[in-house]
Amino acid sequence: MFQRYFSNLLSPDNETVLENLGLLAELAGNWQGAGFNLVARPDFHDQTNLFLELNLTSETTKFDPISSSIPNRGFGQDDIELFGLTYLQKIHDATTGGALHIEPGIWIKQPGTSDPPLSAPPGGQLVSRMANIPHGNSLLAQGIATRFDGPPTISSGANPTSGGNPAFSLFPSFNSTAIDLQPPLAPGVPLGAPVFAAGTSEAQSKPGGGFSEYTLSNADSSANTRTPLGNIPPILPPEITQALLNDPVTLLQETVVEQLAQGYSFSGVALNISTAQSITFFNEPVINASPLPGTSAIEVVQAGGGAENLSFLQQNATTTLVYATFWIEKLIHPQRPTIMQLQYAQMVMLNFPSLKIPGKPNFAWPHVSVATLSKTFG
C-alpha cells in the first residue's frame, strides 16, 4: 500500500515485488546470448574520415528487482511510487574475445501523472531506462511498454527479413547509413536530418559511393579503415554480410523466422524508448541522393531525457540521440519446453566531422547494436 511517509521502506514478499514491476517483471533474471555491433568512430591516428568497427558479440545481462518502492516527491501533484530493476550488461567480441562494453543501469515503471499530464496507452505502462557507459555517457531514455501477440521483430510483406518496420517497434528503421547534417536541414528534427529508411545502403545513398568503409567489397586497409584491421586474428567473420551491415535488425528477424519454422508461437512485451519525443525517418530508401523520398515523424509517448557526455566526447564524438526497442518474448511450442527470449535493437547517433571532405562537414554516424538472449540458470 502507498505510504505518505517513507522513513521505513520494507520489502514485501517476492510475488508482490514482481507484481509491482508489471510489464517489466519478466526481465528479472540472467540472460545470455549473441548479437552484432556496428559503430563508426573518429580515426585521428590514421587521419581517415572514420573507423568502422564491426563485431559479432557475446553478451550476458543480469536484471535484479529493486524490492522496495521508489518514492518520488510531488509538488504539482501528490507523490508517486516507481518500481524497477537494476541491471549489469557485459559484451565482448565473439571472434577475438576482446572487451567491448559494460553498462550498469536501471529500468523503472512509472504511473500516469497529472503534472505533467502523462498516461500510457490502454494496457500499457510508462517506462524509463537509465544507463551509464564508461566512455563517459549517462543516458535517460523514456517510453512505453505494451503487450504483443505474434512474431516479434520480423517485417510484414513478402520479405520478413528485409530490415524494414520491425514488428511491435515504434521505429521503422535501424539503418546504418551516415546522416549528413549540413544544410538544408529538416526543421524540428532532433538530428537536423531524417534517419534513413531500411534498405538504404551508404553506396547508393550518396554521390560517388559514399564512405568506402561501408561497402564490404572494398578491402580494409590504411586508407579504408574498418574491422578486421588490427584484429588478432585478422578475420572478418563470414556472418557479417553487406545486408547485415546495412540493416543489423535483420539478424533478429532471421532468428525469429527460424523459430517460427520450428513451430514456436510468440507473445510478450515490447519496450520502446527514446531520448527524443519525435524522430523523423525517410519513408523509402534513398537511391543516388535524388530525388529524396518523403518523411514521417514518429512520436513516442513520454519520450524524452537525453544523453550527457564527458567534455572530451562533446568535442570529439558526442551522443545526440538514442532510441531502442526491447522485445521480451515467450516462445511456446506444442512439444518442447517454453523459452523466454529477449531481443533488442538500439540506435545511438554519434556526431563528428569527416576529415577528408573539404570543409569537414558534420555527420551523425549510427551506432547500431542488436542481440538475441535467452534466460539462463541463476
The x, y and z cell numbers of residue 346, run together, are 538500439
Work out the mean pLDDT of the chain and round it to a whole number: 91
* CA–CA distance, 194 with 201 (Å, rounded to integer): 15
pLDDT band per the 50, 70, 90 thresholds, residue 289:
low
Closest CA to 144 of 167, 116, 124: 124
* CA–CA distance, 40 with 225 (Å, rounded to integer): 10
Q: CA 21, 25, 26: angle at the middle one, nearest 5?
A: 170
pLDDT of residue 357: 83
Instruction: Give the residue, 193 or 213, on which the prediction is more confident.
Output: 213
* CA–CA distance, 13 with 36 (Å, rounded to integer): 38
pLDDT of residue 1: 46
pLDDT band per the 50, 70, 90 thresholds, residue 4:
low
Instruction: Give the residue, 289 or 373, on which the prediction is more confident.
Output: 373
How many distinct structural domains can be found in the chain? 1
The CATH number of the domain where 91 resides is what? 2.40.128.20
Residue 91 lies in a domain: yes
pLDDT band per the 50, 70, 90 thresholds, residue 5:
low
* CA–CA distance, 27 with 10 (Å, rounded to integer): 22
Residue 213 lies in a domain: yes
* Strand partners of residue 279: 298
What share of the chain has pLDDT > 90, as a percent?
67
Residue 3 lies in a domain: no
Average pLDDT of the residues in 193-222: 91
Closest CA to 192 of 179, 181, 207: 181
Torsion of CA 357, 360, 361, 365, to 10 degrees: 90
Cβ neighbors of 145 (< 8 A, separation 6 or more) are 22, 23, 24, 109, 120, 124, 125, 126, 127, 269, 270, 271
pLDDT over 70 at 7, yes or no: no
pLDDT of residue 187: 47
* CA–CA distance, 164 with 282 (Å, rounded to integer): 12
pLDDT over 60 at 183, yes or no: no
pLDDT of residue 255: 97
pLDDT tens string 247-284: 999 999 999 999 999 999 999 999 999 999 999 999 99
pLDDT tens string 94-103: 999 999 999 9
Average pLDDT of the residues in 206-219: 91
The x, y and z cell numbers of residue 11, run together, are 520489502
pLDDT of residue 98: 92
Residue 93 lies in a domain: yes
What share of the chain has pLDDT > 70, as a percent?
94
pLDDT tens string 9-43: 778 888 888 999 999 999 999 999 999 999 999 99
pLDDT over 80 at 56, yes or no: yes
Residue 1 lies in a domain: no
Residue 2 lies in a domain: no
Cβ pair 344, 370 in contact under 8 A: yes
Which residues span the domain enclosing 348? 14-376
Q: What is the DSSP letter of 259?
A: H
Q: What is the DSSP letter of 95?
A: T
311 class by beta-carbon count within 10 Å (0-12 exposed, 13-18 middle, 19+ buried): exposed
If DSSP codes are grouped into helix, strand and coil, which group holds residue 370? strand
The x, y and z cell numbers of residue 225, run together, are 579503415
Cβ pair 22, 6 in contact under 8 A: no
pLDDT band per the 50, 70, 90 thresholds, residue 323:
very high
Residue 7 lies in a domain: no
* CA–CA distance, 360 with 294 (Å, rounded to integer): 27
pLDDT of residue 275: 94
Residue 8 lies in a domain: no
